[in-house]
Amino acid sequence: MTKIFLKKNQERRIRSGHPWVFSNEIWKVEGSEESGEIVEVLDFRGKFLGIGYYNPHSLISIRLLSREKEEIDKNFFIKHIQKAQQFRERIYPQEKSYRLIFSEGDFLPGLIVDKYENFLVIQVLTLGMERLKEKILEALQEIMKPQGIYEKSDLTLRHLEGLKEEKGLLFGEIGSPLMIEENGLRFLVDIEQGQKTGWFFDQRENRLAMSSYAKGARVLDCFCYTGAFSIYAAKAGVTAVKGIESKDTAIDLACKNAKLNRVSAKVRFEIDDVFEALRKKEEKREEYDLIILDPPSFAKSKKEIEGAIRGYKEINLRAMKILKSGGILVTWSCSYHIENQLFKEILLEAGRDAHCVLQLLGFRHQSMDHPVLLAAKETEYLKCAILKVEK
């Protein structure tokens, strides 16, 4: 096995639990430098640190899989998938759909696996995991015994690893849309054409948290996608919910989901650009008791942070202007590069410009099936602020 030695004093972050080795931290390589191969990682003195996969053409050159000397074979993946499944069954004993594998958060960097009832959808993000895909599939079939496995690796992130985008059926049979149940509600999920793998499991607990503010409220759900927040709110006893989404395919599924949960009478969906819709509602002097803002990532890299700050400020400012005094704003950033404190500062500035005083009722993150590695802040990406807006 190829051995890769780190520069002096570069092992501290690794020893604290971070799974990445950057290219500028490598001192020397003993052995081949084949992209995607399994390698041993050692410190400057030759002390073993772990085993990972190597891509000399990537800024993140090594992603660690194990801190022990062990074979990275089917049994390795069986062990890790079993641990991940047991944890999900412990935290969600009544649920059959959840994120089964959350990449670095489950010590399998570059791999996402979502469980939709008896079906699995996987995303393979890195060259190292791509080379291990057959072993992963064998382990998933043996443990989970799914009816079908679908790959949704249609991400531009793969280009950085020298990989093409891939999607399609890998095993068994699988239809789309699929039906799942979450917290007693039912939803149709389009795994083929939908965002990510079709559903946002990372918002499970946030949907429940939002619901506690929805009773008797007039609600506006921005970037509503397939209607999950709208339907949770309707079930909590709202006066009315309006959902806004720019994609007609998502709105079509949202309408079906509202009907499926018998809340169509309280929920309306419209196709529109959220920025433009908020502007028009301000001009019409519409008012809401609860506004939900769950936008896509505005900053996928550091160079996009400045534009993201402007985008987050604008949508939150516009939302605050059409909230009643004492109304609730539930707002997110899923941009890792927008850190917690920066997000709070953006909201504070938006409140100042909207002439509002903001009370922070809660600050939340992703759901428990997306565990955060304390040593790797990159695994904590989702930020949710629940604000009471006083005017």
User: Three-class SS of residue 285?
Assistant: coil
Q: How many CB atoms lie within 10 A of CB 156?
A: 8
Q: Give the helix/strand (H/E) hosting 88.
A: helix 74-91
Active-site residue, 356 included: no
Please tell me which residue in 222, 224, 255, 334 is annotated as part of the active site.
Answer: 334
CA distance 63 to 180: 33
Angle formed by the axes of helices 74-91 and 133-144, to 10°? Answer: 50
Residues 300-320 as b/e (b if ≥16 CB within 10 A, e otherwise) read eeeebeeebbebbbbbbbbbb
One-letter amino acid of 369: D
> 3-class DSSP state for residue 45?
coil
Alpha-carbon distance 207 to 240, whole Å?
A: 17
120-133 in b/e burial notation, b at 16+ Cβ within 10 A? bbbbbbbbbbbbbb
Q: Could you give the CA distance from residue 239 to residue 107 in angstroms, rounded to a whole number?
A: 44
Q: How far apart are alpha carbons 200 and 100 in whole angstroms? A: 13
Active site residues: 334
